[in-house]
Amino acid sequence: MQRLKNKTCVVTGAARGIGRAIAARFHAEGGIVVATDIDEAAGAATASAIGCRFEPLDVREEAGWSRLARLVPVADVVVNNAGVTGFESGAAAHDPEHASLADWRAVHRVNLDGTFLGCRYAIGAMKATGTGSIINISSRSGMVGIPGAAAYASSKAAIRNHSKTVALYCAQQGWRIRCNSIHPAAILTPMWEPMLGSGADREARMQALVAATPLRRFGLPDEVAAAAVLLASDEATYVTGTEITIDGGLLAGSAASPG
């Protein structure tokens, strides 16, 4: 059964990691996928491998979204996945005391401004039919404090709340346009590479992360994609303004026995 048959699905940040997995899964489910990314070479290669369409998009730029609106004026599903941690170029930790305003703004411009613009595009691309699914990729870091990643955590928390605002607004207009957020944690993607490092203690860092997760393993991008398929499909037409956490049990609490 193709759960997204003939649905036009736009996925940002689709060149790698979770975005690539979602684009591939949507295509396999019969979706008409438009994969977008700022990295044109990697994005085009991914789209070619999947068998879908690619369009370059810098989610930070309003002009890029206006161009996409002209090229893809109607959409059934929009996944706002593009995001950065701020550590991609080896930057220091973004703690609340030492993070620079420039670094803070750079992370929010991609993660939060990009999601805002993506939601605005989605509403415009869906309101003619009055139906659709907006899926915003937040993070477990958007639900708890992260001392060394203040900008990232703040941006992801804002995505969670904006998703609820969009959901309520669309319902208020009488549209069947749903908006939900997905909150992954410890998903094994290239985004982890700068944080894991390449030194002798890389393996120790990985083992520490695994040990902190109740299911004792990293999650996989395909496991996030599976949740995205559910939210995109007609099986979830009564699900809006909520979040799905995919974290191996991290937020469930402590697995330690009481003393």
**pLDDT tens-digit map of 213-245:** 899 899 999 999 999 999 999 999 999 999 999
Q: Say what the alpha-carbon torsion angle 45, 46, 49, 50 is, to the nearest 10 degrees.
A: -150
Q: What is the pLDDT of residue 187?
A: 92
Q: Say what the alpha-carbon torsion angle 74, 232, 55, 60 is, to the nearest 10 degrees.
A: 90
Q: What is the pLDDT of residue 195?
A: 59
15: nearest Cα among 122, 25, 31, 38: 38
pLDDT in tens, 19-34: 999 999 999 999 999 9
Q: What is the pLDDT of residue 163?
A: 98
Instruction: Tell me what the mean pLDDT of segment 34-40 comes to.
Output: 98
Q: What is the pLDDT of residue 90?
A: 65
Higher-confidence residue of 210 and 185: namely 185
**188 CA to centre of own chain:** 14
pLDDT in tens, 173-193: 999 999 999 999 989 887 766
- What are 197's two structure tokens? 């490092």
Q: What is the pLDDT of residue 87?
A: 85
Q: Which of 121, 152, 169, 238 is catalytic?
A: 152
pLDDT in tens, 41-92: 999 999 999 999 999 999 999 999 999 999 999 999 999 999 999 988 766 6
- What are 81's two structure tokens? 């996945």
- pLDDT bucket at 197, cuts 50 / 70 / 90: low
Q: What is the pLDDT of residue 256?
A: 57
242: nearest Cα among 152, 153, 163, 130: 163
Q: Say what the alpha-carbon torsion angle 12, 16, 21, 22 is, to the nearest 10 degrees.
A: 0
What is the share, in percent, of the chain residues with pLDDT greater than 70?
Answer: 93
Mean pLDDT of the chain: 93
Q: What is the pLDDT of residue 208?
A: 81
Give yes or no: 152 in active site: yes
E strand intervals along 5-71: 8-11, 32-37, 53-56
- Is the CB of residue 2 less than 8 Å from the CB of residue 29? yes
Q: What are phi and psi for residue 55, nearest 5 degrees?
A: -135, 130
